[in-house]
Structure 1
Amino acid sequence: MAALTTRLPELNITDAYSDQNSTNEMQCIDFRDWYWLTRHQPVYLLIITTLGIVLNAFVLLVFCLHKKACTVAEIYLSNLAAADLVLVSWLAFWAAIMEKPLNWDFTVALRGVVKLGMKINAYCSIYFLVLVSIDRYLALVHPMSYGRMRRPKYAKLGCLLVWGLGLLLSASMLILWAVSRGEMVELVWDGMLITFGFIIPISINTFCTITIIRALKKQSLARSNAQKSEQKATTLVLVVLVTFLICWVPFHFMTAINLLYRTEMLVGCDLIKFVDIFTPIITDLAFFNSVVNPILYVVVGKNFRKKVQEVCKQCGVSTVTTTSTRSNTSAPLNTFM
């Protein structure tokens, strides 16, 4: 039984970003009922890591190798892929940490870096979607008034600001965690994640999404090619946004429940069992979002599939050109042999 209880803290919702052990949990939960989930957690994380790295790297390669410059929406989506790549790159370390007992050999600094990578993804992913939603809002609702704002240089500046915001919010709490690992630091950490990583960005996305849907309904059936292209991009963005909500809303809901529990606003063994049993599943669902996004680009994004085909043709043409050039340069030598 002792071996089972030592692994539980690695699965708490706050332990994906913090360390916490609770005596009440040990008294309320029979760990043998769900230890199979703890045992298979590292395997699942390694699968997510492999798929996430391959798929998100593929998306970034397509955007980078394509001969045409990325549109504003593609700049945001490429940065979203980069944020997902950051997350899945660190999940392998997290899986290794979970496999170790409490006296694992990793340094505290490495564990802090893993948490930093996860936090950056949690903040940056949602704010890249905020930028995408605002771009779709301007493109469909105010195409004439704010058209100048939809420029690649402004999009790149916005992405830099998002990366900086994610790093600032994550690093500030990581420093507090390193200096003082008290309960208050953990509460502030979760409170910031819920406020700045969910409530504020989701409110912006909800407003933009509702307005965009209304604008699409009002538009006539006779649309220009430019409008059709904008709508294709909007469809992809809406699907990505809905998928993000499906994967991350339960995570933030459970974070809020856990926050209320640790402040003793909610108590009871039933609550503890609910949080500790469903937390691993909900956390895995949130991580799975980093694998789903690249798949959505291929399945839903017609423009992205077109880019993939063009990149393949481009690479094929370059290969043929290189081969023909080599054969032409070697032809005179063959005539003398």
Structure 2
Amino acid sequence: MGSMEVFEGDDLSTLFYGSGYNDTNYSNYPIESTCCNSGLVCTQGESMRFQAVFIPVLYSLALVLGLLGNGLVLGVLFQLRRTWSVTDTFILHLAVADTLLLLTLPFWAVEATQGWIFGTELCKLMGAIFKINFYSGIFLLACISLDRYLSIVHAVQMYSRRKPWAVQASCLCVWLFCLLLSIPDWVFLESSSDVRRDKVECTHNYQRFNANMKHWRLASRLLYHVVGFLLPSAVMVYCYSCILLRLRGGSQGPQKQKAIRVILALVVVFFISWTPYNITMLVDTVQSDPTKANQTCADITALDVSLTVTSTLGYLHCCLNPVLYAFVGVKFRRHLLDMLNTWGCRIKGHVGPIARRSSMWSESGDTSYTSGF
């Protein structure tokens, strides 16, 4: 946002553990479509044992680090709520989205070890919450890059200080769009037994409406790849590339060098986090056609494990967002140290001078020579 791709056409055992052929009711397919070449049914026992250990450990780590980092961001923002800039507002919504997504991780960790024990209503709720906040986090990152691009490259302020509601309206549009993307989860998700995995899981059940599962699955994967990765990635790459060219166009002062390093870190970490998972998803989309019988159980297990590992790497991005979009800012570090000192944590630190009107995340008030963070 193991393989937590809460997308239409996949069951949540696919979304949190891996995929293989785990997106349909197997009673509709010949036994060969879920078997290895030797004729034995692939029960996924090996991948399930891996997931039962890997997922709880990594999700627990992500939960603790993510809640700590995003909690500090929200705490500082709350203290400075009267002086928010445009970027501060986007960061607020991003931190909320990451926090809500992280709060769903314990449920998927329990499912990895014990199956889904929370019932259909909570299955729908957790799946929809995950979907909404997964998409909103990515879209908000794209909004931040677009705002910085217009401000730095074209010296255009998309949001005026005289209309503070405009940026809130943009964020509201992002949330509403993500809510629309979650409608299939509210409708189709339910708690049901997976025969192949021999456990109860939170899955999409399209048979109740006589829907074509194969078409739903393909449509959901295309929606994810295009809307959830390719489109926001293209926006970020274009915007940050133009920003870098603009920053490199003048003298290379220390301030501009810091901004360039920050921008490179933002782009590199985003793609390191999400590219492996998207490549694995593409492979899974091609290989999981139930009419194919040329895969072995080892192939399916390897794909399941790969989806588990790469998706977890992607969701750890929620823990990095506070570092990349907040802790790199001198002004934020100063306010954070002040807040911790107020709480009795005597931490000494040195930060340089800060422009009074700069964003809490920026290194300078000069938006022509800063990344805005």
TM-score, normalized by the shorter chain, greater than 0.5 = yes
What is the correspondence of 1:302-317 to structure 2 with a 5 Å cutoff?
302-312=330-340
Q: What is the aligned partner in structure 2 of residue 127 from structure 1?
A: 139
One-letter amino acid of the structure 2 residue matched with residue 280 of structure 1: T
Structure 1: how far apart are the matches of 2:281 and 2:181? Answer: 17
Output the CA distance in 1 between the equivalents of 2:47 and 2:173.
46
Distance 1:73 1:67, change over 3 A: closer
Counterpart code for 1:49:
L
8 Å contact kept, 2:34–2:290: no
Tell me what 1:106 maps to.
118
Which amino acid is the alignment partner of residue 268 of structure 1?
Q
Counterpart of 2:239 in structure 1 is 208
Percent of paired sites with the same residue: 25
Q: After TM superposition, give the deviation of residue 162 of structure 1 in Å.
A: 0.9
Give matches, 1:43-62, under 5 Å. 43-62=57-76
Equivalent of 1:153, from 165, 170, 176? 165
Q: Deviations over 1:177-211 (max 9, x none)?
A: 56625343333222211111111111111111111
Question: How do 1:263-274 residues align onto structure 2 when only pairs under 5 Å count?
Answer: 263=289, 268-269=295-296, 271-274=299-302
1:92 equivalent to 2:106? Answer yes
- Structure 1, 21-30 or 170-179: larger mean CA deviation: 21-30
Bigger Rg over Cα: 1
Distance, in Å, in 2 between the alignment partners of 1:15 and 1:28 is 10
Q: Deviations over 1:121-175 (max 9, x none)?
A: 22111111111101110121011xx225355432222111111111111224542
Q: Deviations over 1:77-111 (max 9, x none)?
A: 2211111101110101111222214xx43212212
1:295 aligns with 2:323: yes
- Structure 1, unaligned runs of 5 or more: 1-6, 317-337
What does residue 166 of structure 1 align with? 178
In structure 1, C-alpha distance between the alignment counterparts of 2:81 and 2:263, rounded to whole Å = 23
1:332 is matched with none
Structure with the bigger percentage of helix: 1
Cα–Cα, structure 1 residues 172 and 105, in superposed 2: closer, same or farther, change >3 Å?
closer
Distance 1:174 1:86 in 2: 17
Distance 2:336 2:245 in 1: 32
One-letter amino acid of the structure 1 residue matched with residue 140 of structure 2: F
Measure, in 2, the Cα distance between the counterparts of 1:186 and 1:287.
22
1:17-28 equivalences under 5 Å are 23-24=34-35, 27=41
Per the TM alignment, residue 212 of structure 1 is displaced from its structure 2 partner at its CA by 0.9
SS of corresponding position for 2:316: helix
Change (3 A) 1:37 1:139: same
- Match in the other structure for 2:249: 218
Mean alpha-carbon deviation: is it higher for 38-47 or for 193-202?
Answer: 38-47
Moved more, 238-247 or 85-94: 238-247
Q: How many residues align?
A: 300
- Among 226, 232, 246, the residue aligned to 1:195: 226
Which of 11, 14, 17 matches 1:11?
17
Alpha carbons of 1:295 and 1:153: their partners in 2 closer, same or farther (altered >3 Å)?
Answer: same
Out of 261, 264, 281, the residue aligned to residue 309 of structure 2 is: 281
Secondary structure at 1:105's aligned position in 2? coil
Partner residue of 1:3?
A: none
Secondary structure at 2:118's aligned position in 1?
coil
Change (3 A) 1:303 1:95: same
Q: What's the offset of the Cα at 1:291?
A: 1.3
Q: Please, what TM-score do these two structures have when normalized by structure 1?
A: 0.76
Give yes or no for contact 2:21–2:290 (8 Å, CA) kept in 1.
no
What's the CA shift for 1:13? 4.7
Give the deviation of 1:276 after TM superposition: 1.4
Within 2, Cα distance between the matches of 1:37 and 1:117?
A: 22
**CA distances 1:22-73 after superposition (whole Å, capped 9, x unpaired):** 7236756874488345333223222322222222112111111126512212
Deviates more, 1:282-291 or 1:185-194: 185-194
Q: Is contact 2:17–2:51 with CA below 8 Å preserved after alignment?
A: no
Q: Distance in 1 between matches of 2:112 and 2:218?
A: 23
Shift of 1:222: 6.7
Using the size of structure 2 for normalisation, the TM-score is 0.69
Structure 2 residue ranges without an equivalent (≥5): 1-11, 27-32, 190-203, 208-212, 345-373
Choose from 271, 274, 277 the match for 1:251: 277
Distance 2:73 2:215 in 1: 40
- Whether the aligned pair in 2 keeps the contact of 1:14 and 1:20 (CA below 8 Å) is no
